[in-house]
Amino acid sequence: MNHRLDSLFSRAQREGARVGIISTWDVENNAVRTLSATLRRGGHHCAEIYFKDWVSNHLEPASQEQLENLARVIRREELNLITISIRASAYAHQARVISEYIHDELGLPVLWGGMHPTLKPGEGVDYADMVIKGEGELALLDLADRLRDGRDDVLGTENVWFRTGEHETVKNGLRPLIKNLDDVAYRDYTTHEHKYFITGNTYVQGDPMHGDPVYQMMGSRGCIYKCSYCYNSTSKKDVYPGQKWFRVRSPASMVDEINKARQHWDFKRIRFDDEVFNFQKKWLDDFCDIFPKEVGLPFEVFIEPKLVKEDRMTQLRDAGLSAVYMGVQSSERVTGNLYDRRVKNSSIADIAQLYHKLGVKPHFQLIFDDPVSTEEDKRKLFEMIASFPHPYDLYLFSMTVFPGSELNNKLLSTGLISKYDVDGMDNTRIFYQHRVNLNYPRPVEDTFWIALTQMLSKPFVPKAMLKQLAKSETLRKHPWPLIQMANATNFVKMGQLSASMALKGEMTGTLVRRWLSMDRIITT
């Protein structure tokens, strides 16, 4: 038997399960907050440890001092089980570093959970003592209950894999998905002594997101679509086949969580971080009735183009919708063939006009650095964006390939990428190129189109001029002047946005830390 598991089993019977949940490079982490709330509701001791934060294109690896501070927190809380939330595969490498340190320095068992261990649980148990595959709340609570109660069937906990020996693993099956999300504990929105933020060379107690102007929450799980680049496409098909993957909370549950959170936190707006906001008519009617009456704050949603209808968008706007986040991704051909999202350019352009008509600000998301876009694809994407009325923002992302995704399968099978291009233990490119930065080395023709496209969102840059520049063969081959122009427009927009947020009292330390950097400015 793994000696760390042996020690955990005996300690938990004496002390109870004292769990530390580490969020890696993400202070927003909804999963960590929900897991922690679930354990506390079940009577277990739980400490939330936010290990570093996401910084745009500049995620530094864990330092020795930060690891030592992590050990200080673990000792202070007298924890006997450490869990690590791995939200994306690129974080697995650093999760391994943290796990090895905890093993060597503290001799404690480590459990991995999140998207990457769900997709690659076998890799997880190579470095951790346990892995949770799939949904974690009921599995972690069940594990903690069995440990506390000294049950002899701990190794039979569903959803959990145990490394019992050097080459021995207990692989348990999955429990069904949670059907009623109203039964799930609200994410922990309070700030108290059992929350920590490790940053720089120190750590502080309290919730690092507390006081942020935006309250982020989720009203659903899963997605009704199966875009090839998204982990949902794999989880729905391979991890939970035959089960209802997209599930929603009741509007009453969502409103209750918000109002309970407002007792502790004076936020100014809500962002629903669902993969796609629920547009089922009865549910939407209920939400649009109760939300403005009992909350009355502006809110933002993520939406898919196929769901956009004027009557329902008007209904949401009247309930307080102020902004939408919508994936455009690429040209019509690339988006349909590569990403399995089939929407015409003309439909996207009509949706942009609708948002303008309704006074809802759109944030359009684009994906660059794919291996299939032609010069014509890039030109058509530019021309489509050029038809959008201001105001709008563009979020430009560099293509990420998750292991096991349909995008991974497509590109590997056709030889367009190698296994080293897949996000994971050997590929941490998103640490320095997640949002597109014009200084990143890529073909000059790609830089040319990226620079032009991102300038389209600036109302102070004449579109006619950009369209003229798009015809320049000289700039296509030598885009350096265009890069300087694009960076300058980004600085102007960043300055305008910062001033506006400062006047509203919304410029927080978290935002400054994440975004305000002169040497790695991103497109927006």
**DSSP string of 382-429, one letter each residue:** HHHHHTSPSS-EEEEEE----TTSHHHHHHHHTTSS-GGGSSBTTB-G
Residues 169, 165: Cα–Cα separation, whole Å: 7
How many angstroms separate the CA atoms of 193 and 207, rounded? Answer: 9
Give the chain's end-to-end CA distance (angstroms, integer). 52
CATH of the domain at 28: 3.40.50.280
Residue 10 lies in a domain: yes
Owning domain of residue 395: 211-436
Looking at residue 493, its pLDDT comes to 86
359 and 390 in one domain?
yes
The answer for residues whose C-beta is within 8 angstroms of residue 260's C-beta and 6 or more apart is 186, 189
Q: List helix spans (H) across 274-339.
A: 281-294, 310-319, 332-337
DSSP, residue by residue, 106-135: H---EEEEEHHHHH-HHHHHHHSSEEE-S-
Q: What is the pLDDT of residues 40-99, one digit of tens each?
A: 999 999 999 999 988 777 788 999 999 999 999 999 999 999 999 998 888 999 999 999
On whether both 161 and 251 belong to a single domain, the answer is no
Domain assignment present for residue 30? The answer is yes
Give a yes or no: residue 321 inside a domain.
yes
Could you report the per-residue pLDDT of 291-349, keeping only the tens digit for each? 999 999 999 999 999 999 999 999 999 999 999 999 999 999 999 999 999 899 899 99
Q: Tokens 């002390």 sit at which residue? A: 15
Do both 318 and 178 map to the same domain? no
Residues 36 and 136 occupy one common structural domain: yes
What confidence tens digit (pLDDT) does each residue in 149-164 have?
999 999 999 999 999 9
CATH number at residue 259: 3.20.20.70
Residues 216, 136 share a domain: no
Last residue of a domain, one of 421, 436, 451: 436
Kindly state whether residues 29 and 118 are assigned to the same domain.
Answer: yes
Residues 175, 236: Cα–Cα separation, whole Å? 15
Q: Are residues 235 and 148 in the same domain?
A: no
d(CA 45, CA 47): 7
Amino acid 100: pLDDT? 97
Across all residues in the chain, what is the average pLDDT?
92
Query: Do 257 and 156 fall within a single domain?
Result: no
- Domain boundary (389, 405, 436) is at 436
In a domain, 231, yes or no: yes
For residues 274, 286, 290, 365, the Cα torsion angle rounded to the nearest 10 degrees is 30
Per DSSP bridges, beta strands 214-217 and 269-272 are parallel
- What is the domain count for the chain? 2
In a shared domain, residues 326 and 177:
no
Does the pTM exceed 0.85?
A: yes
The secondary structure of the chain in percent helix, strand, coil, rounded to multiples of 5, reads 45, 15, 35
- Report pLDDT for 520: 45
Helices (H), 42-91: 64-77
Query: Of all residues in the chain, what percent carry a pLDDT higher than 70?
Result: 96
Among the candidates 392, 411, 436, a domain finishes at: 436
Do residues 174 and 133 touch, judged by C-beta distance below 8 A?
yes
